[in-house]
A and B are shown apart, each in its own frame.
Chain A
Amino acid sequence: MVDPGLLIDQLITGISIGSTLFLIAVGLSLIFGVLEVLNFAHGALYMVGAYVVIVTINDFPGGFWVGVLLATLVVGLIGVVIEMGFLRRVYDREDLDQLLLTFAFVLIITDSVRNIFGSGSNVVDPPALLRFDLTLAEGISIPGYRAFVIVMSLVVMGAILLTLRVTNFGRIVRATSSDREMAGLLGINVPRLYTIVFFIGAALAGLGGALVTPLQSVTPELGNQVIINAFVVVVIGGLGSFTGAFVGAYLIGIMIAVGSLFTAGAGQLFPFVALIAVLLLRPEGLFGGVEA
């Protein structure tokens, strides 16, 4: 029998892992849901977000928080360059061409970062404001920064759902994601909408990468480490579904953490067991086909 205290500890760790998984999966899901492009470069963009924070802390005034803001903006703008300069030329081609293009960006971005910053790992301290332990109950506590990341994932989820459901922009996004041509026939500027959505998706990758810096050492390989789990989360949740990405991320996070109590290597094993199970039993994903 597993000690209940240990189980609760791992559950909290799982939720914390889930929140970082969600922050990377949500942009991937948004871009796929609207543009129908599987953006392999999403992990690389996430990694760039982390490096923007490191550069800001080391070389510019303002520290961590300015770094997070800059990471969101800079990576969003890199997304705009990728979308307007390259991706928009291949929407009409087969999926393979789109995958190859985004994969090319994985290689280009990862090697560029390696050339500039080297392969060494970088560590960032949590901001002073959040260097405390939050006590949840007798003997159960969570580092303040981890609690903050969990809150941020809830804030991002809430902001996306609210935007999609009640704003004019959200209605246009939902309409266009269900029928691109009909949206164009109504006079909606679909190419511009795609650029905006790609900006938001990439900015979310930048935000996710920036927020993970105090939790994980940062190397140019960071993106490649997280992109696979992000894909697993998005497929389990249902491609293009935000609720799915949210539930999938926390499910995988908890599975990894709690699973590690029972067997070594659970972090590698459990996401894929879950993926196979979902693909066999419910190939459209847990929330596949359900919007927002």
Chain B
Amino acid sequence: MSLLEFENVNGFYGNSHVLFDLDMTVEQNEVVALLGRNGAGKTTTFRAITGTIPRREGRIEYRGESIARKSVEAISNSGIKLVPEERRIFPTLTVQENLVVARDAASGTPRDIEEMYEIFSVLDDLRENRGQNLSGGEQQMLSIARALVQNPDLLLLDEPTEGLAPVIVEDLTEILEDIVSRDVTVIIAEQNVEFALSLSERAYIIESGENAWDGTIEELRDREDLLEQYLSVGVASD
């Protein structure tokens, strides 16, 4: 049984149809890259998983159980946690309060907040700072820490490197390498292809809300045509 299975998933915002017969399978402890241009449907795919899209159809199963009609909080409580593209730190809560709220809302056994400060050492000195006073990189770290403290089974990272300085992306890569080596399944949606490929084992490419390609990272590295066609980038092979 796969951890997450998508079959013929369609998504809608009001009258506009945005996901078309999407298929996707994610196994336990895998790290999967979800690639595609801006507007290809990566965030919408995450919205279909987390239940925040207004309407979704098709088979969406998590641990063999349908989550297609479950509420946002019920899906979250089943162990799926999103780190959203906009980070969405609670602006008037301090760093510590952002983590405490998440820890106390966790349905299973949460992780220790102090452990988060060890992983994300930049946050350690910012405990009493309000979310709105953090830099983009600090907010990104806090957003990941907030999801991680809930001890997720499936972590969805939406464009974690977007808008971050290269040196911060390096820090983040190190942290995420550590995280993905643990007992957690991860889907990373990214436009920063090199970053996504360095962490992942398999990839799905989507275009205009449809499956365009899927396979292993090794296969993808040999297919510069795909990267150019769907992601408008060339990528150096190892």
Let me know if B77 and A178 touch, CB within 8 A: no
* Cα separation A183 to B50 with both chains bound (whole Å): 12
Q: How far is the CB of B224 from chain A (nearest CB, A)?
A: 36
Q: Kindly identify, within residues 73 to 125 of chain B, every residue whose CB is under 8 Å from any CB belonging to chain A.
A: 73, 76-77, 81-82, 84, 88, 90-93, 97-98, 100-102, 104-107
Let me know if B101 and A171 touch, CB within 8 A: yes
Let me know if B72 and A184 touch, CB within 8 A: yes
* Cα separation A193 to B141 with both chains bound (whole Å): 28
B139 within 8 A of A: no
Not counting A171-B101, A174-B93, a sample of 11 additional A-B residue pairs whose C-beta atoms are within 8 angstroms of each other reads A168-B104, A171-B93, A175-B93, A178-B92, A183-B105, A184-B72, A185-B52, A185-B82, A185-B84, A187-B105, A187-B106
A172 within 8 A of B: yes
Q: How far is the CB of B140 from chain A (nearest CB, A)?
A: 14
Q: Which residues on B sit within 8 Å (CB–CB) of A168? A: 100, 104
Known contacts A181-B52, A185-B81, A187-B77, A291 near B105 by CB under 8 Å: no
* Cα separation A292 to B98 with both chains bound (whole Å): 16
Taken residue by residue from 60 to 81, chain B's Cβ proximity to chain A (1 for < 8 Å, 0 otherwise) reads as 0000000000011100110001
Q: Which residues on A sit within 8 Å (CB–CB) of B150? A: 186-187
Top 9 A-B residue pairs of the complex, sorted by shortest distance between their CB atoms: A187-B76, A184-B72, A291-B92, A182-B88, A175-B90, A187-B77, A187-B105, A186-B105, A175-B101
A190 within 8 A of B: yes
Let me know if B77 and A174 touch, CB within 8 A: no
Taken residue by residue from 181 to 202, chain A's Cβ proximity to chain B (1 for < 8 Å, 0 otherwise) reads as 1111111111000000000000
Let me know if B88 and A179 touch, CB within 8 A: yes
- How many chain B residues sit at the interface, stated as a range, is 20 to 34
Q: How far is the CB of B128 from chain A (nearest CB, A)?
A: 13
* Cα separation A174 to B150 with both chains bound (whole Å): 19
Residues of B within 8 A of A (CB): 50, 52, 71-73, 76-77, 81-82, 84, 88, 90-93, 97-98, 100-102, 104-107, 146, 150
* Cα separation A184 to B52 with both chains bound (whole Å): 9
* Cα separation A213 to B50 with both chains bound (whole Å): 50
The SS class assigned to the A binding surface is helix
Let me know if A187 and B73 touch, CB within 8 A: yes
Number of interface residues of A (CB under 8 A): 19
Let me know if B52 and A186 touch, CB within 8 A: no
What residue in chain B is nearest A289 (Cβ atoms)? B92
Q: Which residues on B sit within 8 Å (CB–CB) of A183? A: 105
What residue in chain B is nearest A189 (Cβ atoms)? B73
Q: Which residues on A sit within 8 Å (CB–CB) of B92? A: 174, 178, 291-292
* Cα separation A292 to B73 with both chains bound (whole Å): 26
Q: Which residues on A sit within 8 Å (CB–CB) of B105? A: 172, 183, 186-188
What residue in chain B is nearest A169 (Cβ atoms)? B104
Q: How far is the CB of A110 from chain B (nearest CB, A)?
A: 36
Please indicate which of the listed interface residues B91, B93, B105, B146 has the most CB atoms of chain A within 10 Å of its own CB.
B105
* Cα separation A190 to B51 with both chains bound (whole Å): 14
Please indicate which of the listed interface residues A174, A175, A292 has the most CB atoms of chain B within 10 Å of its own CB.
A175
* Cα separation A291 to B130 with both chains bound (whole Å): 12
